[in-house]
């Protein structure tokens, strides 16, 4: 048995022990809810991290507008999923995915237009300061203004009411 197999078995045993302890303390329903919430949050973190690393790996630019577009899609999804009047609450999941993707795509249009403009202007200039061909570092400075603009739109559309996170 190799080192990786032992580490995998130890991880599985530890996870089972933790789930057992949580089950003993919380009960089946709450344990399942916490477990699924953790998996959902981990999936969201993975999507954000994968997008940032993909953009940085391909363009050599830390473009944080990815998170802004993710946030706008999440707002659209939350407002769609939170509407209990849609077909006895069976359709909201599919509408959430559709609305989040559509709003994210529409919100990304200005960023795509900006990127094309910058690429056209830089096409004849050759290399940037680091000796690489590609987009300038101004794309790093654009997202703060984009974030503020999209936050303002989000506040105007959805308001600033709070909602409880736990019971």
Contact 153, 75 (CB under 8 A): no
pTM of the model: 0.50
Contact 99, 72 (CB under 8 A): no
More confident residue, 163 or 157: 157
Question: What are 143-156's pLDDT values in tens digits?
Answer: 656 666 777 777 77
Selection from 108, 110, 99 nearest residue 157 by Cα? 99
Question: What are 59-94's pLDDT values in tens digits?
Answer: 766 666 777 777 777 777 676 666 666 555 566 667
- Measure the CA angle with vertex 74, ends 119 and 26; round to 5°: 140
Buried/exposed 121-141: b ≥16 CB within 10 Å, e otherwise:
ebeeeeeeeeeeeebeeebee
Determine the Cα–Cα distance for residues 158 and 72; give it in Å rounded to an integer: 11
């Amino acid at each position: 048995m190799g080192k990786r197999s032992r580490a995998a078995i130890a991880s599985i045993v530890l996870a089972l022990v933790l789930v057992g302890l949580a089950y003993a303390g919380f009960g089946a329903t709450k344990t399942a809810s916490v477990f699924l919430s953790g998996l959902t949050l981990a999936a969201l973190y993975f999507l954000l991290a994968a997008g940032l690393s993909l953009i940085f790996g391909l363009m050599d630019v830390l473009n944080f507008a990815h998170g802004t577009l993710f946030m706008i899609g999440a707002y659209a999804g939350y407002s769609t999923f939170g509407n209990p009047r849609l077909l006895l609450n069976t359709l909201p999941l599919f509408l959430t995915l559709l609305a989040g993707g559509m709003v994210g795509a529409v919100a990304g249009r200005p960023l795509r237009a900006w990127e094309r403009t910058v690429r056209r202007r830089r096409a004849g200039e050759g290399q940037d300061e680091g000796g690489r061909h590609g987009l300038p570092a101004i794309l790093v400075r654009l997202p703060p203004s984009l974030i503020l603009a999209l936050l303002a739109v989000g506040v105007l559309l959805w308001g600033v009411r709070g909602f409880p996170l736990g019971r």
